[in-house]
Amino acid sequence: MNRSSQTSAIILALKPLGENNSLVTLLTPTEGLVYATLYGGPKSKLRSLVAQWNSGLIWLYDNSEKKQIKITDFDVKNYHYSFRQNLFKMYAASLAAELAIKTRCAGSNEECFKLISGFFDGMELCNEEQSQVALLRFLWRFLDLLGLQPQCHDCFECNKSFLTSEFAPYSISYYNGMDNSFICPECAENINESTSMIPLKTASLQYLAAVTYLKPAEARKIAISKESYDEIKQLVFFLIENSVEQKLNSIETGMGIL
């Protein structure tokens, strides 16, 4: 980072630093996570701009002698006001931020920034119900960013396609945690009974396939039933916590809200 620089950024978190200052966690497309100091008391104009979930163009000064990065200005493009007014959106945004921090942007700064930026901006335009489905799509795509998204278009064992008319919406498929894969009912009969498997209606699996292969704008248009929503939620929450190998605070504290 140059001594003085500017970059697009999302404010993920703030922590008090002394009486009037804050340590700010930024998500940027090039550097990934940046930890910067914000100086100024409650009446500071800059302090009112550098608020959690705000995104825009930020100016930074790198003081190498003090080993400190200072925020000097912030041009906010999106305030995401609704996150402060809706508990679900607030916890969903917290979960996205926690994932970025704990996975170090999943090893891809630019893609992580694009994914979270699109998720935040999309939620701001949605109601709570739409945001709930958007969270499932975000988590499924984050699994892909981590390289841990299971293949969902055919059976891992026999290669039978889940996307053909042979698998009617009432059919069942299974997620097999041993291989991080989906298998058909016939192959599931040959799996050891002690193996933990999560059942999914084929309609739910087909929705995940659509999210995987379609552009986000196209995937948003696809309707999802309450049953599929519940099944996919159980699956992606299980997979995302397994991916970081620890409980996520946002899910634990947001139980009953997320």
Interaxial angle between packed helices 87-102 and 226-244, expressed in degrees from 0 to 180 and rounded to the nearest 10: 30
- Do residues 69 and 61 make contact, with C-beta atoms less than 8 angstroms apart? yes
pLDDT in tens, 96-118: 999 999 999 999 999 999 999 99
pLDDT digits (tens, 9 = 90+) for 149-179: 999 888 899 888 887 766 665 588 899 988 8
pTM of the model: 0.93
Q: What are phi and psi of 35, to 5 degrees?
A: -105, 115
Q: Name which of 3-7, 159-163, 218-222 the model is least confident about.
A: 159-163
Q: 83: closest CA among 57, 133, 119? A: 119
Please provide the average confidence, as pLDDT, over all residues in the chain.
92
Is the pLDDT score of 66 beyond 90?
A: no
Token pair of 16 as six digits: 């008090």
DSSP code at position 182: E
Determine the angle formed by the axes of helices 109-124 and 128-146, rounding to 10 degrees. Answer: 170
pLDDT at residue number 167: 64
10 Å CB burial of residue 197 (0-12, 13-18, 19+) is middle
